[in-house]
Amino acid sequence: MLRLIVSDLTANARVWLGALLIAAAAATVGAMVASDIETALSAGGTTALALYGISGTIAALTVITALIVVGTVTTLTVTLQQRAYALWQLIGLTPARIRLIVTTQLLAVSLLGAVLGCAAALPILQPLYAYAFTGSPDLSALHPRFTLSGALPVILFVAVVITIGGSRAAGRAAHTPPIQSLREASLPARRMTPARWLTGSLAVAIIAAITASLPGSTSPAVPLTLIAPLTAGVLVSFGPLFLPGFVRAWTSVLPPTASAAWYLARNATATRGGATIGPLVVAVALAGGLFAADGASSQGSSTLTTGAVVLLIGGPLLLAVLGSVATIFMSSRRREREFALLVAAGGTPGLILLAAASEAVIYVGTALLLGLFSVAVTSVVGAWATHAWSWAGVMPSLTVAVASLLLVLTATVLPAYAGLRQRVTRVLAAE
């Protein structure tokens, strides 16, 4: 069994590398939070109180983001390997055994990633403190602490989220009849699962509770900040219900006859874009939500400094965008095969690059629309609670979308360009 685990890890290197990267990134961001708390504990006094206040917000934003991004990437890790599990079933492994193997793989990869991520956090903590707390001499003079007792909960959290989330997906995958998996050249369609219903409903309930607590609150900014990422969580959870239709609807701004590249990208994204779009929605919601909440509660006298923004959402934002890029990287083999088919059908190199670029535009465009919806929810709730409407969330949302677009474009177009140099026959013969 150990040989099977190891050989599978190397055969699906791209997929597992993506999972490892996201486990590490989640741990690095988690380490920031843990270090805030540890540093506050050791500092004591008013400094500690200030730090506690900040770290509570960061912790909440980080946990919401990590659950969505890490959950998405983990499920993708498993579903991308559905064919392998089918082959395992055909050589006689039971579904229970397959689930055990996959869970072991996930545990190993998540532990390794989390440890690496915590280690990576060590050298950046001090400069981050110095930068984020520039405006406050007390805080910027602090020496950040991050010891084993801070790292352990982070590692545990990352490992548990990945292992539990992945194990459920693995259970489903292992019980899919092998013939069905082998026939499906693409991912199985994303369906609503009990876990999705549960997390989606839970997020709605939390949003309702936050909203109910707002009237009369002296500091509505912090709870308001959580509303956009939570709304993003609701959208991601219920994604299978509406996302394909939503993508097809807004992308029909360009009629199918206008551009073959757009047409291809549109279909591809509608059927398998969820994993990439989800983290991007969170990214837009984090940035737009923070500013919308600040705008509503500060009534024009904003106190958000760049340092504070980086401190509050820098980590989660990075995790979300990385997560999205990782899903593109992980599923690149499938994209290669589609492009190879297009080349065989007479698609020009230009068409293929344009299709890859269109795919990036559709990912980010969809995420921007859904992210803006989350930000609008924040603004509406904020206006209701504070009687002040704010447009402050719009520009940051657009900024994050543009920055993400550059990264996502790189992630789709560069591999497509490299793929053009590969032999079509090699790609089609693989597997």
Is 53 among the residues that bind another protein (CB under 8 A)?
A: no
Helical segments of 214-331, H only: 221-237, 239-251, 260-272, 274-298, 306-309, 315-330
Site string for another protein, 154-193 (x = CB under 8 A): -----------------------------xxxx-x-----
Short-list 18, 80, 14, CA closest to 326? 18
Interhelix angle 45-79/13-43, rounded to 10 degrees, is 170
- Residue 147 or 348: the one with the smaller Cβ distance to another protein is 348
Q: Which of 260, 304, 310, 394 binds another protein (CB under 8 A)?
A: 260
How many residues at the interface with another protein, by CB under 8 A? 32
- Residue 265 or 287: the one with the smaller Cβ distance to another protein is 265
Write the DSSP string, 159-185. HHHHHHHHHHHHHHHHTS-HHHHHH-S
Is 349 among the residues that bind another protein (CB under 8 A)?
A: yes
CB of 414 to another protein, least distance (A): 18
Element (H, E) at 143: none
Q: Which of 223, 274, 323, 347 binds another protein (CB under 8 A)?
A: 347
AA identity, residue 103? T
SS3 300: coil
Q: How many residues does the chain have?
A: 431
Binders in 96-115 for another protein, by CB under 8 A: none
CA distances 103 to 22, 165, 215, Å, are 17, 10, 45
Is 335 among the residues that bind another protein (CB under 8 A)?
A: no
Binding segment toward another protein, per CB under 8 A, in 25-33, 57-65, 232-240, 265-273: 265-273
SS3 146: coil
CB of 274 to another protein, least distance (A): 13
- Residue 216 or 350: the one with the smaller Cβ distance to another protein is 350
| Rounded Cα gap, residues 296 and 380, in angstroms | 9
Q: Which residues bind another protein (CB under 8 A)?
A: 183-186, 188, 260, 263-264, 267-268, 270-272, 334, 337-338, 341-351, 420, 423-425, 428
